[in-house]
Amino acid sequence: MTLLKKVLPWMMILCLLCACSALAEEDEPDYGDLYPESLVYEGTWACGGVLLESVAEDGGFRILIRHLTGDGMDQRLVWEYSPLYTPETGTLSAVLGSKTLETLDLDGNVSSSSTEYEDGEAVFSLDADGHLLWKDQKEDAGKDLVFSKIGNFAGTYDCDRASIEILWDSDDVYSVEIHWALNAKVSSDWSFTATYNPETATLEGTGMESRTQYNAAGDVISSEVVDPEGCFATFALDADGNLTWQNSDSVADGMVFERSIY
């Protein structure tokens, strides 16, 4: 009984602390709810060959900046920040940012990396036209860079026997390759050059359709353009990150492509 009397008060205190902690977690608002005006920074941005991804997380933002370098584009500089929003200035400010040099293999995977520093500071702001500016207070790496929002379309999407691969080229330009296996010997293939439309949050572009024939071994026998005048397409993402494709000939109406590779 004596032992129980000694332990019981500590058990009550522990239960009280756990309850308070759970209540605090429930009451803590999401960052977007706390500062909804800050969500204008969220998204994927590009300037030349520099890609910036900004995501609102619990307690702040996470920003990743990637820049391919090297003679063979086999190296990548990566800056990472966890900035906070300042309502008075409408900017994002970060300390203890890091810079890493990554070496890529032939498949584009990271084969090695080395951290150059972890004490970087930066301020992110928007100009009058809605472009994102990066003021790197460590080494001024963001000088003269003006980022435009380009959406988050890069990846591979599948629907039945059709597959769409979207690659970011530069600035707001994407390349879109579509392969649709009609049967084991014939496929329809489209190639588009598309740009991001910030007003509609879609990719819009023109391209060509070709009809490809294969032999029993899967080798290409022939490929010919279906319509020399080309076609127009619009690509959009739904709330779940799935892709829809509206083509000028309505070939993909009603189809929803699920993202399989980011």
Closest-CA residue to 261 (of 167, 172, 197, 149):
167
Residues of the chain with pLDDT under 50: 1, 3-14, 16-26
1/23 Cα distance (integer angstroms): 33
pLDDT of amino acid 256: 97
pLDDT of amino acid 73: 75
**pLDDT tens track for 97-128:** 999 999 999 888 899 999 999 999 999 999 99
83 and 63 Cβ atoms separated by less than 8 Å: yes
Map out the domains of the chain as residue ranges: 34-149, 155-261
